[in-house]
């Protein structure tokens, strides 16, 4: 076998992998039609027919709730906005604690902070990289009001157990399903387990509208509150005879008619896009499953993984080489390999507890009675995975062919055949 690319040998993957692009002539035609109509958005920030947006927005929401079989879909201009609307809609108060994973996109946690509530980071599982129910339970205090669950990398968290915990402790559940649209957990779509599920339609996701997001819920009250926060709640509450003013500061989280028209075409393509992605990932699993010290992604019975990324456990002791060195070697071969998430609580905003203003708000506010810690060591599994026990192959932004997947497998095998050369002297 040839020399490692890291040491000057030939690179295994030489082709530039094209960017994942789910947009085709259908989306172009749908967008053009809206532009020709001149009605690029039909929202009005007051109570009346146009409070719910124009025909494209409403048709898109109908298609989304049909697909996911939920009572409501509330479109927004990003998943970040949707997460913010969800925390607000649930009536989370300043000083309440919300449990969240440190292994997620930053907005899962900041959506809590913007309402002056306190993110509390619980640890994750070694096999799914999602929140560990036992760590959630350990982090519940009298101040805990909700759990923000991310279905990371396209695979469901332990949703049955988490919903059970939520019932026992009377907590609300938001699902950040940005990476897992169409994934199944124990026979049911991820994103539809909690009180509110939130999806992303940004450029990097399975399907997209440029920017965009959708909240789903089966609860009438929550749907209405999401719609209010999306569209200038404070000016609409009177017209809608909404008496509960909790968190009724509204934003402009509205999706345009163009994005909604594109979204209507995108949701039709979700199934076939996922099918293609899953087939490629399964081939990868077959090709990598024999390599020592590498753990292919967990997929339990009655569950599906939609592989926003292809996550793997890495056992440095078994492999005999530290993870970062192997990453270097894989990258040199042309594999889009990366380490895990950086734990969110190491960001300066948490380390310095400076969010709103400069004086420690909301952590030092009188209405926060707790004492959350963001110190190193609070989530030992997540920290270990970040440091040395995890690696991923990028999927979301790439359009791989079957031949590309074969090359990736070849690159892994090549690196594993040269492990002795990667060991530190
Ligand atoms: C992409 C992503 C978001 C944010 O989505 P936007 O639509 O870009 O706001 C939130 N959470 C997770 C887990 C994500 O992957």
> What's the 3-state SS for the chain?
CCCCHHHCCCCCCCCCCCECCCCCHHHHHHHHHHHHHCCCCCCCCCCCHHHHCCHHHHHHHHHHHHHHCCCEEEEECCHHHHHHHHHHHCCCCCCCEEEECCCCCHHHHHHHHCCCCEEEECCECCCCCCECHHHHHHCCCCCEEEEEEECHHHCCCCHHHHHHHHHHHCCEEEEECCCCCCCEECCEECCCCCCEEEEECCCCCCCCCCCCEEEEECCHHHHHHHHHHHECHHHHCCCCCCCCCCCCCCCECCCCHHHHHHHHHHHHHHHHHHHHHHHHHHHHHHHHCCCCCEECCCCCCCCCCCCCEEEEEECHHHHCCCHHHHHHHHHHCCCCEECCCCCHHHCHHHHCCCCECCCCECCCCCCCCCCCCCCCCCCHHHHHHHHHHEEEEECCCECCCHHHHHHHHHHHHHHHHCHHHHCCC
pLDDT at 234 over 70: yes
Best probe residue, ligand 1, of 179, 266, 392 (max atoms within 8 Å of C-beta) = 179
pLDDT at 154 over 90: yes
Using 50, 70 and 90 to split pLDDT, how confident is the model at 2? confident
* Structure confidence by residue, pLDDT tens digits, 52-87: 999 999 999 999 999 999 999 999 999 999 999 999
What's the pLDDT at 1?
66
Distance from the alpha carbon of residue 29 to the mean position of ligand 1, in angstroms: 27
Give residues (CB < 6 A) around ligand 1.
Answer: 78-80, 104-105, 107-108, 150, 176, 178-179, 200, 202, 213
What is the rounded CA–CA span in Å between residue 371 and residue 379?
Answer: 16
Judge whether 287 and 258 are in contact, CB under 8 Å. Answer: no
Judge whether 216 and 192 are in contact, CB under 8 Å. Answer: yes
Note every long-range contact of 133-138, with CB atoms under 8 Å and residues 24 or more positions apart, other chains counting: 133/158, 133/161, 133/162, 133/165, 135/379, 136/99, 136/162, 136/165, 137/165
> What mean pLDDT do residues 6-35 have?
97
Distance from the alpha carbon of residue 49 to the mean position of ligand 1, in angstroms: 30
> What mean pLDDT do residues 250-269 have?
98
pLDDT at 396 over 90: yes
pLDDT at 146 over 60: yes
> What mean pLDDT do residues 390-408 have?
97
Using 50, 70 and 90 to split pLDDT, how confident is the model at 232? very high
Using 50, 70 and 90 to split pLDDT, how confident is the model at 257? very high
* Residue 81 alpha carbon, nearest atom of ligand 1: 9
The percent of residues in the chain predicted with pLDDT above 90, rounded, is 98
Distance from the alpha carbon of residue 80 to the mean position of ligand 1, in angstroms: 6
- Averaged pLDDT score across all residues of the chain: 97
pLDDT at 425 over 60: no
What is the rounded CA–CA span in Å between residue 156 and residue 130?
Answer: 8
Distance from the alpha carbon of residue 328 to the mean position of ligand 1, in angstroms: 27
Using 50, 70 and 90 to split pLDDT, how confident is the model at 424? confident
> What mean pLDDT do residues 381-410 have?
97
* Residue 107 alpha carbon, nearest atom of ligand 1: 10
Distance from the alpha carbon of residue 8 to the mean position of ligand 1, in angstroms: 38
Distance from the alpha carbon of residue 153 to the mean position of ligand 1, in angstroms: 11
Using 50, 70 and 90 to split pLDDT, how confident is the model at 362? very high
What CA–CA distances, in Å, run from 66 to 69, 183, 394? 5, 16, 30
Question: What's the pTM?
Answer: 0.97
What is the rounded CA–CA span in Å between residue 293 and residue 131?
Answer: 23
């Amino acid at each position: 076998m040839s020399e490692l690319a890291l040491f000057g040998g030939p690179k295994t993957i030489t082709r530039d992998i094209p960017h994942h692009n789910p947009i085709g002539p259908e989306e172009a035609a749908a967008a053009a039609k809206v532009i020709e109509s001149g009605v690029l958005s039909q929202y009005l920030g007051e109570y009346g027919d146009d409070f719910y947006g124009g025909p494209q927005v409403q048709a898109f929401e109908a298609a989304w709730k049909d697909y996911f079989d939920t009572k409501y879909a509330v479109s927004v201009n990003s998943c970040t906005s949707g997460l913010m609307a969800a925390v607000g809609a649930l009536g989370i108060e300043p000083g309440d604690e919300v449990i969240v994973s440190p292994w997620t996109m930053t907005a899962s946690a900041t959506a809590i902070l913007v309402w002056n509530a306190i993110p509390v980071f619980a640890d994750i599982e070694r096999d799914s990289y999602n929140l560990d129910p036992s760590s959630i339970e350990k982090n519940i205090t009298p101040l805990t009001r909700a759990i923000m669950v991310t279905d990371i990398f396209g695979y469901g968290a332990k949703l049955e157990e988490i919903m059970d915990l939520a019932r026992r402790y009377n907590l609300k559940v938001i699902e950040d399903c940005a990476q897992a649209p169409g994934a199944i957990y124990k026979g049911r779509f991820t994103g539809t387990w909690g009180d509110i599920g939130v999806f992303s339609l940004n450029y990097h996701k399975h399907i997209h509208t440029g920017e965009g997001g959708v909240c789903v819920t089966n609860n009438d009250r929550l749907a209405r509150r999401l719609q209010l926060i999306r569209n200038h709640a404070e000016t609409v509450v009177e017209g809608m005879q909404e008496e509960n003013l909790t968190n009724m500061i509204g934003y402009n989280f509205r999706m345009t008619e163009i994005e909604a028209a594109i979204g209507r075409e995108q949701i039709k393509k979700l199934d076939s896009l996922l099918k293609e992605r899953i087939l490629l990932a399964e081939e990868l699993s077959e090709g990598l499953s024999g390599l020592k010290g590498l753990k292919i992604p967990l997929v339990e019975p009655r569950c599906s993984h939609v592989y926003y990324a292809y996550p793997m456990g890495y056992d440095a002791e078994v492999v005999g080489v530290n993870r970062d060195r192997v990453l270097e070697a894989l990258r040199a071969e042309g594999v889009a390999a990366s380490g895990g998430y950086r734990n969110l609580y190491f960001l300066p905003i948490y380390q310095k507890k400076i969010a709103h203003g400069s004086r420690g708000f909301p952590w030092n506010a009188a209405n926060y009675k707790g004492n959350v810690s963001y110190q190193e060591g609070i989530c030992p599994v997540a920290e270990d995975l970040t440091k040395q026990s995890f690696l991923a192959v990028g999927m979301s932004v790439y359009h791989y062919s079957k031949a590309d997947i074969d090359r990736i497998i070849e690159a892994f095998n090549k690196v594993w055949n040269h492990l002795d050369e990667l060991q530190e002297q």
